[in-house]
Amino acid sequence: MRRWCWALMLLPVMALPLNIDAATGAWSDSASGPSLGARGNWLMTPAMKARSAAPGTIKVVNWRYQLSAPAPSGLVVRLCAPQRCVEIEGGNGSTRGLANISAEETLHLAFGFQGRGALPPGLRVVSSSVTVNYQ
């Protein structure tokens, strides 16, 4: 009998609505290209975006890209949303630099080269991908 009494006393507490934060989720997309032929220009990958609704804001973006040859000196890579770009380093990693932007925004990787001189012939972005974690 005592067990039932305790259960009845807890019932009102258990029936209270829980505070639930906004939905969390993730989406991934990939693209290939562009060809990287000259210094002094910024070239962007095709758009990468959620394939379905992604209600919320970006928390973390993981990226990965691969070039057709080792990166020449002066390579600068940025991860960009329409409102903001963040400089990234290396062929893969993660950033919180786009936090609080809508998770449904289109993202691009932008490639540029500082300095002077030719780039290796046929240099291109073989693959690039992003995984967006949002809440």
In the 3-class helix/strand/coil scheme, how is the chain assigned residue by residue?
Answer: CHHHHHHHHHHHHHCCCCCCCCCCEEEEEEECCCECCCCCCEEECCCECCCCCCCCEEEEEEEEEEECCCCCCCEEEEEECCCCEEEECCCEEEECCCCCCECCCCEEEEEEECCCCCCCCCCEEEEEEEEEEEC
Task: Indicate whether 59 pLDDT > 70.
Answer: yes
- Give the C-alpha separation, 68 to 123, whole Å: 6
Q: Which pLDDT value is given to residue 116? A: 82
- Domain boundaries in the chain? 21-134
pLDDT of residue 38: 83
How far CA 127 is from CA of 32, 80, 99, in Å, comes to 4, 16, 24
Mean pLDDT of the chain: 86
3.30.390.10, 3.40.50.720, 3.30.70.20, 2.60.120.260: CATH of 21-134: 2.60.120.260
Residues 6+ away with beta carbon under 8 Å from 30: 48, 127, 128, 129, 130
Q: Give residue 35's pLDDT.
A: 93
Per-residue pLDDT band at 23 (split at 50, 70, 90): low
pTM score of the predicted model: 0.80
